[in-house]
Amino acid sequence: MVTIPTDWVITKAFKSRRDRYVRRSGDDYAEALADLLPWGPAWPRWEDSVLMRCVRGLAQIFGLVDRRAGDLLIQESDPRKTLELLPDWERNWGLPDPCFRRTETIEQRQQMLVFKMTMLGAQSREWFIWVANWLGYEIEITEFSPFMVGVSSVGDTRGMILWNDRPGTHPEVTDFRWEIGRPEMRFYWTVRVKNAPLLWFRAGGGESGIQHHLTIGFAEDLECLLNRWRPAHTKIIFDYSSLATGGSMAGTP
């Protein structure tokens, strides 16, 4: 086991506390500026004197610069909180993405930026289902298997899957395990979209007078992303036959 010296831990903690940015107001700079002035009857230090009022007025610009620097270091450097530099962040990360046309509010744009920065990617069905859930969709992905003599079983094969290359059953699987058709069907996915995207107006994140109270969207962003990120050999068929809104208050905070 590696033992870390105690003095090293204390030094690191001290440095992390010392390096933390501390905001200074214009009055703080006025106090420091007054300490640089000469002393004497012509240089009074009481607050209501003309000299100190002039010093406080001149020092406010330093407080403004300090505040702006603090915003840059604390807020604008964080993609989860950035406001003024959000367009610059988006430009550097290839946003707005044509697949995400519903990123209208500041909150949605921040979330999309963080998603684009942290996404690792994969090609499994589970990962595509996770992406759909992140977008607000509930989907189900089905793969097809052509019937093969000597491998496939006849009869009702709904709910049948393979466990270690041996047929088994799973109560949650309701599709046929094998189907009669062309061999190319193995390269197709059926994506069943189960809910319509609902975009509610949110105080603090929406724009009054511009956005609707509720917008019922289409799965254009989902289709765009899945077609972009799908495995190269895979074709996707989107199924909206079981589409539902989830109730009149679905998607509300």
Domain ranges of the chain: 6-76, 97-239
Query: What whole-number distance in Å separates Cα of residue 47 and Cα of residue 71?
Result: 30
At 129 the pLDDT is 93
Distance CA 110, CA 83 (A): 9
Smallest CA-to-CA distance from 215 within 245, 181, 183 is with 245
Q: What are phi and psi of 4, to 5 degrees?
A: -95, 125
Q: Which of 239, 62, 64 is nearest to 144 (CA)?
A: 239
- Find, among 106, 105, 100, the residue nearest to 134 by Cα: 100
Residues 6+ apart with CB under 8 A from 96: 90, 103, 109, 112
Instruction: Name residues of the chain where pLDDT drops below 70.
Output: 1-19, 101-104, 149, 151-153, 156-179, 181, 197, 202, 204-207, 210-211, 216-217, 245-253
Residues 6+ apart with CB under 8 A from 179: 144, 145, 146, 147, 185
pLDDT of residue 227: 93
Per-residue model confidence (pLDDT) at position 2: 40
Sign of the alpha-carbon torsion through 123, 127, 129, 130: negative
pLDDT reported for residue 3:
45
Is the Cβ–Cβ distance between 161 and 177 less than 8 Å? yes
pLDDT (0 to 100) of residue 67: 87
**Predicted local confidence at residue 98, as pLDDT:** 84
Q: What confidence score (pLDDT) does residue 159 get?
A: 61
State the pairing for strand pair 198-200/214-216. Answer: antiparallel
137: Cβ–Cβ under 8 A, 6 or more apart, which residues? 193, 194, 195, 197, 219, 222
